[in-house]
Amino acid sequence: MPGASVTEEIKDRLDIVEVIGGSVKLRRSGKNYTGFCPFHPNSHTPAFVVFPESGTWRCFGACNEGGDLIKFVMKKEGLDFKEALRLLAARAGVELHERDAGESADEETHARLRSLLEAATSYYRHQLTATPAGAPVLEYLVARGLQPATLEVFEVGYAPGGWTTTMDSLGGKGFSRQDLIDAGMISEGTSGAQHDRFRNRIMLPIRDGRGRLAGFGARIVDANDVPKFLNSPQTALFDKGKLLYGLDKARKAIRTVGQAVLVEGYMDVIALHQAGQANVVSPMGTALTEAQLRMLKRHTRRIVLALDADAAGYQATLRGLEVARQAMDREADPVFAARGLVRYEGRLDADVRVVTLPEGIDPDELVAGGAEPWTELVQAAQPVVEYVLGVVTEGKDLDDPKVKSEVAKVVLPLIEDVSDPVEREAYRQSLARRIKVDERALSAGGLRTHGGARGRAGRPAQAAPPTGDTRSKVAVEQFCLGLLLRDPELLYSLDRDFLARGLERISGADFTGTQRQVIFQAAQEGLAQDQVDPAQYWAGRLEPDLQPEAAEMLERLDNIDQMVKLDRQQRKVAEEILARFLQLRKQRLEIALGQAQFQLMEAQTADRRQAEAEELVGGLVREVQRLAEQKSRVEQAMAGRSGDPGPLAANEAW
């Protein structure tokens, strides 16, 4: 296994019988070895077994634990995974990965920059809440309906109007001029003079999905200042195309509601959160990027874009269709990029919808009397293609042949970018009805620019992801674990499916190497916390030596996605994913059943008059029966699926 990590190399080099035999007296029994468990008192019947072929051990007595060589050393020596790996690596002569100087230096730099941004946030908060200059700004925010508690939660502050006020304050806290430049806090004039980037502005700290400070958004106080909103520049921490304002506070609500709503302004996000609509984020005034949608897709498939009325006009829509960034300042990128959204929708298998706010009404005004008007508005959101079709036909003379042609030329490219063939055909029919033409006319005269090619390429001729039937057990484990690393919340639906079939929840015991159990535990722990995106949490928990194996699992999944696009058949994809985890469980049960049957035969040859032996035999009989019943249920669940191999059929690439 090429990316099979240093852990596999260590286990390949060491003899598990030799290592465990150094502290446990083992007796050969066929191809396995038995002994008394070192982890609990027992003196009559050996309940501890080492299985050299699989490189595992198990206690069938009071412990009822087992694992591989690493797990044994962890338990025997009282070490954590990292310490046990170091000990065994030294014995095996394997060199472990150490962070190089560059990685350590980058981490230290990023930590220092975040510390600077935290200091700036505290400084701006103080300026807003405890200085004469900030008092009128605070009054303005409160007059807009924002409560002091809300302003505190979102850490809203005020940057004073002096040219070097912030620079001087942070410099006095030990941060160098270069630190301030690297963090995006300083701008340089044409004369070369340096000054505060943010002056006389409402300051809004922007945190990444893990809650770490990345930069600031700043809104004008003086109506004569420009631009109205100013973000931090591109830095090592701040990339506005990969950040969503408010996501760190919205993640839990998005998962609970099953829907994310994007609005255009920072203040909209704050007002809606205050009104109890906490599943709202903002792309910070830029066109939505695929990276931003991917972040949301980790929490929900349904994404609603709520546009201001003045951004939904015909001309704005056309600008969005072409995403004419090259002709616009980066601070003024169009928010609504319809064609890009349709393409992202297909690649991400998401449900992206659009709704327009009532003209002249901001979200804070909409929820001033309660959340009902907002929820009704969001519920009325339309698919992107339907929304654009409505915008470009509104107020037009659809009896005019030239108007029909213009509308078709705008909408058809969007339709051709829809990946699902059924949706694509439905939209084409809708367009034909709206502009009152025969549907066949939309396929003539070059209007269908690449529909035929799309139809051929929409689904690959060869399915890609694996079944594991012809692959090793480890390959199945890696595939299943890769799915959980990419989307830890998949565990929720899998556990429901397993419990509904009378099966135990997915657990670390379903995976055979300690390293994979540790990776699974890190993914599972991400679901038990709410400070960091679960799909990002695990990466910060893994030892460097486990990172390559986890990265390879994810990379292989990316390759699979590109080959099959997961077919956009949600039910079939869900069924196939469930089938892979059922196969994973079956593998585990077959191993456990074989081991229990071996130990049962061993125990039955012991002195049956001894109470300890009788208790062990009785327990093993019950365990064999339980495992056999669970295995039967898994096989029934697998047999109950259709014969169609589906979009996750076996593939040589895994």
User: Using one digit for the tens of pLDDT, what is the confidence trace for 273-309?
Assistant: 999 999 999 987 667 787 788 788 777 888 999 887 7
pLDDT band at 560 (very low <50, low <70, confident <90, very high): low
> Which pLDDT score is estimated for 185?
97
> Which pLDDT score is estimated for 317?
42
> Which pLDDT score is estimated for 117?
97
> Which pLDDT score is estimated for 641?
55
Taking only the tens place, the pLDDT of each residue in 108-137 is 888 899 999 999 999 999 999 999 999 999
CA dist 4 and 7 (Å) reads 8
Distances 214 to 102, 377, 535 between C-alpha atoms, Å: 21, 32, 19
**Range(s) for CATH 3.90.580.10 in the chain?**
6-92
Asked if 292 contacts 241 with a C-beta cutoff of 8 angstroms, the reply is yes
**Range(s) for CATH 3.90.980.10 in the chain?**
117-238
Taking only the tens place, the pLDDT of each residue in 588-635 is 888 888 888 888 887 776 554 455 567 777 788 888 888 888 888 888
Q: Which residue has the higher pLDDT, 623 or 462?
A: 623
- The encoded tokens of residue 562 equal 């590109």
Residue 551 has pLDDT above 60, yes or no: yes
Distances 263 to 156, 271, 279, 399, 462 between C-alpha atoms, Å: 18, 11, 11, 36, 40
pLDDT band at 572 (very low <50, low <70, confident <90, very high): low
Percent of the chain with pLDDT over 90: 26
Distances 141 to 150, 277, 364, 501, 578 between C-alpha atoms, Å: 11, 19, 12, 54, 50
- The encoded tokens of residue 444 equal 């003539």
Mean pLDDT score, 387-405: 89
Q: What is the CA radius of gyration of the chain?
A: 30
> Which pLDDT score is estimated for 272?
95
> CB-hemisphere CA count at 13 Å for 408?
26
Q: Is beta strand 27-29 parallel, antiparallel or unpaired with respect to 302-307?
A: unpaired
Taking only the tens place, the pLDDT of each residue in 323-379 is 322 322 333 333 467 777 787 777 666 888 999 888 888 888 899 888 999 999 999
Pick the CATH number of 247-380 from 1.10.1040.10, 3.40.30.10, 3.90.640.10, 3.40.1360.10: 3.40.1360.10
> Which pLDDT score is estimated for 170?
95
Angle, helix 534-541 to helix 473-486, in steps of 10 degrees: 120
Query: Who's near 430: CB < 8 A, 6+ residues apart?
Result: 386, 389
DSSP for residue 102: H
Taking only the tens place, the pLDDT of each residue in 463-487 is 333 333 334 577 888 889 888 888 8
CA dist 267 and 221 (Å) reads 13
Mean pLDDT score, 229-248: 92
> Which pLDDT score is estimated for 303?
92
Reference 138, options 232, 185, 203; nearest CA is 203
> Which pLDDT score is estimated for 336?
63
Angle, helix 338-348 to helix 401-417, in steps of 10 degrees: 30
Query: Per CATH, is 117-238 categorized as 3.90.980.10?
Result: yes
CA dist 310 and 308 (Å) reads 6
Residue 459 has pLDDT above 50, yes or no: no
Q: What is the DSSP string of 608-629?
A: TTSHHHHHHHHHHHHHHHHHHH
Q: Which residue has the higher pLDDT, 628 or 255?
A: 628
Pick the CATH number of 6-92 from 3.40.50.720, 3.90.580.10, 3.30.2420.10, 3.30.70.270: 3.90.580.10
Reference 503, options 611, 397, 584; nearest CA is 584
Mean pLDDT score, 241-260: 88
Residue 318 has pLDDT above 80, yes or no: no
**Range(s) for CATH 3.40.1360.10 in the chain?**
247-380
**Average pLDDT, rounded, for the chain:** 80
Residue 417 has pLDDT above 90, yes or no: no
- The second-level CATH assignment, the architecture, of 390-457 is Up-down Bundle (1.20)
Percent of the chain with pLDDT over 70: 82
> Which pLDDT score is estimated for 103?
55
Taking only the tens place, the pLDDT of each residue in 39-85 is 877 767 788 999 887 889 988 887 888 889 999 998 888 788 888 88
- The encoded tokens of residue 20 equal 């465990």
CA 65 to chain centre: 32
> Which pLDDT score is estimated for 613?
64
- The encoded tokens of residue 647 equal 């979009």
Taking only the tens place, the pLDDT of each residue in 158-195 is 999 999 999 999 999 999 999 999 999 999 877 788 99
